[in-house]
């Protein structure tokens, strides 16, 4: 009964989404206030209905209702409760439902926090989001129904893929989807602006916090996924340039460009058409990411059973959304008008360069990800491009972007002068060059890549320090007052940029100084790596809730002093009889000591992989700093809602960020 309620709620949600998608947009075009007014109640009703459907599915998982096909294929009675709930989005159908739920959450949030928008604008935004929802609900109801019954019911479920039985599964997909789907708000704002022909700095100010929030979620989602892969796969890697990772990284790159372009549109009124194009691209890439991951076209854990009808539906949907919005863009973009002029050397052009670099980086990832698929689909052979391609392309594209990051925030809007900038940044430049040369020599190993990475990281540190120093200089007020006199969004930028520096430092050090060995270890054997002694003390057999595991004990000492004990595991999950590696990690600020068990060999010996990962935690900490910077920027005073205040006229604000 409960699954039928869920199914019915989805059908009702589709009808409501159609109302939400059609009437408000037509109403806005014709000035019909009643039709426009339908958008808000429809958005809220749709949210309730989709939420009911989601709760019904979660209930079916919690109560182990194996008469539902989807539950039977993704859960098992031995699965702990938290993973039974996470299993709701462990497969194709459920993850689409999660997508729809999150879309309705964003929509309802827009319906509540858009009282200050002109009513036609609000109606169009909610209408566009309703149309996206129609696509997803129609998809689920026609070819991908999570509530489909299994007759006769299964005795027990086939279990969640053991790779997904991890706390990461509880956080990573919802966070990532919050980011993906969050770009639908920026997209809806852009389409609404094209439809209405109103694209001014007020428009940019309204869409900025939404875009930044989506970006924050996406950043955390990608970070969580990377961290999960690091400890779960047992290979010590934190980024594999896997197609699934790329699918989430492309919207991130374009979303980052969009945030910066929106800043220019808000402050200077420039880049209007470009901003709109980026908003369309960011969401299109999110959709493409969903398609790539969820359609089974990729060789990956994330790919589920292949069904050509599904592929065709998503492809048609993609063509409709991307093609339609690009057509609308081509038709309407000339009407949005030109922005302010700016000099060749100005903050605008630095931001433009950063935007172009990010966009080209996204295109290079897109090319590397899709081209092999195209060749394969056309029957022209199977090829693959691995990490070497992405590494080769990324360093030269990101290096200038990171360099410009140090200059951009310091340069004046409209017109800056190179000699002045050079004068101001000469110390920052000197310090970062010196660090890049001296630091690796102290650590005993210098390569051009290490030098470049360290230079860029310290360049961002030093230029940001210079920026903060200039802003806080002067003794007319106490320091606290001087700190407070700068806006939250400015501090958000500072912290996010420092996050990039921390990230760059982490990546450079771990890539440049990491070491690993693979050895055969019998109990009592000692392996040496990076000055540490790893003593293998054998394994003990343990029983988990739904798996058996061999638990290794590795004692780590340095110069005779005991440091820590790590316990890598080799698990075998009972239901699918699938082996899984669980790495043993001792994390710290300076380095991670990491070991994973390979296979059991004769005489109680095991093949063991041991890694020394200097400063790898900085990679994820840098991401957290970026996300925190984003949150700080959103909490800026000028985005706070003050009831039904009137929208400000164009260029009314000249806040110095």
Q: What is the DSSP letter of 68?
A: B
Q: Near other proteins by CB under 8 A, which window of 210-218, 245-253, 467-475, 514-522?
A: 514-522
User: What is the token pair recorded at 575?
Assistant: 């239901």
Residue 529 touches other proteins, criterion: CB under 8 A? no
Exactly one of 15, 326, 356, 648 binds other proteins (CB under 8 A); which one?
Answer: 356
Exactly one of 322, 326, 578, 648 binds other proteins (CB under 8 A); which one?
Answer: 578
Q: Near other proteins by CB under 8 A, which window of 23-31, 355-363, 428-436, 440-448?
A: 355-363
Q: Please, what is the angle between helix 448-472 and helix 418-443, to 10°?
A: 130
Residue closer to other proteins (CB basis): 298 or 566: 298
User: What is the token pair recorded at 525?
Assistant: 């054997």
| CB-based contact 196:121 (threshold 8 Å) | yes
Give 448's contacts (C-beta < 8 A, 6+ positions apart).
none
Residue 300 touches other proteins, criterion: CB under 8 A? yes
User: What is the token pair recorded at 459?
Assistant: 């360049």
Cα separation values, 195 from 330, 467, 616, Å: 12, 40, 47
- Alpha helices per DSSP H over 63-91: 69-74, 81-86
User: Measured from the CB of residue 578, what is the shortest distance to other proteins in angstroms?
Assistant: 6
Q: Near other proteins by CB under 8 A, which window of 173-181, 341-349, 496-504, 586-594?
A: 341-349
User: Measured from the CB of residue 606, what is the shortest distance to other proteins in angstroms?
Assistant: 9
Q: Is 164 exposed, middle or buried (0-12, 13-18, 19+ CB in 10 A)?
A: buried
User: Measured from the CB of residue 218, what is the shortest distance to other proteins in angstroms?
Assistant: 24
Site string for other proteins, 232-271 (x = CB under 8 A): --x-------------------------------------
Residue 607 touches other proteins, criterion: CB under 8 A? yes
Q: Which residues pair with 593 in a beta bridge?
A: 586, 612
Residue closer to other proteins (CB basis): 533 or 607: 607
Q: Report the SS3 class of residue 573.
A: strand
Q: Near other proteins by CB under 8 A, which window of 340-348, 430-438, 454-462, 529-537?
A: 340-348
Q: What is the DSSP letter of 517?
A: E
Q: Hey, which bits of 428-567 come out as E strands?
A: 515-521, 526-529, 532-543, 547-558, 561-566
Q: Near other proteins by CB under 8 A, which window of 8-16, 490-498, 574-582, 583-591?
A: 574-582
User: What is the token pair recorded at 30?
Assistant: 């014709």
Exactly one of 605, 624, 631, 648 binds other proteins (CB under 8 A); which one?
Answer: 605
| CB-based contact 182:218 (threshold 8 Å) | yes
Exactly one of 316, 599, 637, 652 binds other proteins (CB under 8 A); which one?
Answer: 599
Q: Report the SS3 class of residue 304.
A: coil
- Most distant CA pair in the chain: distance in Å? 82
d(C-alpha 267, C-alpha 351), whole Å: 12
Exactly one of 142, 392, 447, 540 binds other proteins (CB under 8 A); which one?
Answer: 392
Residue 51 touches other proteins, criterion: CB under 8 A? no
Measured in whole angstroms, how far is the alpha carbon of residue 405 from the centre of its chain?
21
User: What is the token pair recorded at 63?
Assistant: 């109560």
User: Measured from the CB of residue 264, what is the shortest distance to other proteins in angstroms?
Assistant: 15
Residue closer to other proteins (CB basis): 364 or 464: 364
Q: Which of residues 153-172 bind other proteins (CB under 8 A)?
A: 161, 163
User: Measured from the CB of residue 254, what is the shortest distance to other proteins in angstroms?
Assistant: 16
d(C-alpha 193, C-alpha 214), whole Å: 19
Residue closer to other proteins (CB basis): 158 or 511: 158
d(C-alpha 222, C-alpha 171), whole Å: 11
Q: Measure CA of the first residue to CA of the last residue in the chain; give whole Å.
A: 56
Residue closer to other proteins (CB basis): 240 or 628: 240
Measured in whole angstroms, how far is the alpha carbon of residue 264 from the centre of its chain?
23
User: Measured from the CB of residue 413, what is the shortest distance to other proteins in angstroms?
Assistant: 16
Residues near other proteins (CB under 8 A), total:
45
Residue closer to other proteins (CB basis): 37 or 343: 343
User: Measured from the CB of residue 303, what is the shortest distance to other proteins in angstroms?
Assistant: 8
Q: Which of residues 362-391 bind other proteins (CB under 8 A)?
A: 363-364, 367-368, 371, 376, 381-386, 388-389
d(C-alpha 4, C-alpha 57), whole Å: 10
User: Measured from the CB of residue 199, what is the shortest distance to other proteins in angstroms?
Assistant: 21
Residue 229 touches other proteins, criterion: CB under 8 A? no
Residue closer to other proteins (CB basis): 391 or 420: 391
With tokens 């060995």, the residue in question is 517
| CB-based contact 490:599 (threshold 8 Å) | no
> Taking the CB of residue 346, how many other CB atoms lie within 10 A of it?
21
Which element (helix H / strand E) includes 578? strand 578-582
Residue 397 touches other proteins, criterion: CB under 8 A? yes
> Taking the CB of residue 439, how many other CB atoms lie within 10 A of it?
16
User: Measured from the CB of residue 173, what is the shortest distance to other proteins in angstroms?
Assistant: 17
Residue 552 touches other proteins, criterion: CB under 8 A? no
Residue 95 touches other proteins, criterion: CB under 8 A? no
Residue closer to other proteins (CB basis): 75 or 219: 75
Which residues are near other proteins by CB under 8 A? 161, 163, 234, 299-301, 341, 343-344, 349, 356, 360, 363-364, 367-368, 371, 376, 381-386, 388-389, 392-393, 396-397, 518-520, 576-581, 598-599, 601, 605, 607, 609
């Amino acid at each position: 009964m409960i699954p039928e309620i869920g199914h019915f709620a989805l059908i009702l949600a589709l009808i409501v989404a159609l109302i939400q998608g059609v009437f408000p947009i037509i109403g806005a075009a014709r000035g019909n206030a009643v039709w426009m007014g339908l958008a808000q109640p429809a958005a809220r009703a749709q949210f309730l209905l989709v939420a009911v459907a989601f709760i019904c599915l979660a209930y079916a998982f919690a109560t182990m209702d194996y008469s539902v096909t989807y539950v039977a294929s993704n859960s098992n009675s031995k699965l702990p409760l938290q993973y039974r709930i996470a299993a709701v989005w462990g497969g194709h159908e459920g993850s689409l439902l999660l997508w729809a739920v999150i879309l309705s959450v964003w929509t309802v949030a827009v319906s509540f926090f858009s009282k200050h928008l002109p009513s036609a604008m609000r109606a169009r935004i909610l209408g566009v989001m309703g149309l996206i929802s129609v696509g997803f609900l129609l998809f689920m109801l026609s070819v991908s129904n999570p509530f489909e019954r299994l007759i006769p019911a299964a005795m027990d479920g086939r279990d969640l893929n053991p790779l997904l039985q991890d706390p990461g599964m509880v956080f990573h997909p919802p966070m990532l989807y919050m980011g993906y789907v969050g770009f639908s708000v920026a997209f809806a704002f852009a389409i609404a602006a094209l439809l209405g022909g109103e694209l001014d700095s007020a428009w940019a100010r309204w869409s900025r916090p939404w875009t930044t929030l989506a970006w924050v979620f996406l950043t955390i989602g990608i970070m969580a996924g990377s961290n999960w892969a690091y400890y779960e796969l047992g290979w010590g890697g934190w980024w594999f340039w896997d197609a699934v990772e790329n699918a989430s990284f492309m919207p991130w790159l374009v979303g980052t460009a969009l945030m910066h372009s929106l800043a220019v549109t808000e402050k200077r009124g420039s880049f209007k058409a470009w901003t709109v194009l980026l908003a369309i691209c960011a969401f299109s890439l999110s959709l493409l990411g969903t398609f790539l991951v969820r359609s089974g076209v990729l060789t990956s854990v994330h790919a589920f059973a292949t069904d050509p009808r599904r592929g065709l539906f998503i492809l048609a949907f993609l063509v409709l959304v991307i093609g339609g919005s690009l057509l609308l863009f081509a038709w309407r973009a000339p009407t949005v008008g030109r922005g302010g002029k700016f000099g060749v050397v100005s903050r605008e052009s630095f931001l433009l360069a950063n935007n172009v670099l990010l966009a080209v980086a996204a295109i290079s990832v897109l090319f590397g990800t899709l081209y092999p698929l195209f060749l394969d689909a056309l029957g022209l052979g199977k090829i693959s491009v691995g990490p070497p391609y992405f590494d080769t392309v990324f360093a030269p594209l990101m290096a200038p972007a990171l360099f410009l990051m140090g200059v951009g925030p310091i340069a004046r809007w409209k017109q800056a002068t190179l000699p002045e900038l050079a004068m101001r940044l000469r110390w920052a430049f000197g310090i970062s060059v010196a660090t890049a040369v001296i630091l690796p020599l102290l650590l005993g190993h210098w390569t051009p890549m290490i030098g470049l990475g360290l230079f860029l990281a310290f360049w961002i540190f030093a230029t940001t320090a210079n920026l903060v120093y200039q802003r806080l200089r002067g003794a007319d007020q106490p320091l606290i007052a001087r700190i407070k006199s700068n806006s939250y969004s400015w501090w958000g930028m500072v912290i996010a940029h420092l996050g990039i520096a921390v990230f760059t430092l982490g990546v450079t050090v771990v890539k440049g100084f990491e070491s690993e060995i693979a050895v055969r270890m019998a109990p009592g054997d000692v392996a040496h790596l990076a000055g540490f002694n790893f003593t293998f003390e054998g394994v003990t057999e343990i029983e988990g809730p739904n798996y058996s595991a061999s638990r290794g004990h590795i004692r780590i000492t340095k110069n005779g002093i005991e440091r820590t004990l790590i316990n890598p595991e080799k698990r075998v999950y009972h239901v699918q009889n699938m082996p899984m590696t669980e790495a043993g990690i001792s994390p710290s600020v300076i380095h991670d000591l990491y070991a994973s068990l390979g296979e059991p060999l004769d005489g109680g010996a095991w093949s063991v992989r041991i890694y020394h990962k200097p400063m790898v935690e900085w990679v994820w900490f840098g991401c957290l700093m970026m996300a925190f910077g984003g949150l700080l920027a959103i909490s800026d005073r000028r985005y706070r809602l003050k009831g039904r205040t009137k929208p400000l006229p164009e260029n009314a604000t000249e806040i110095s960020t």
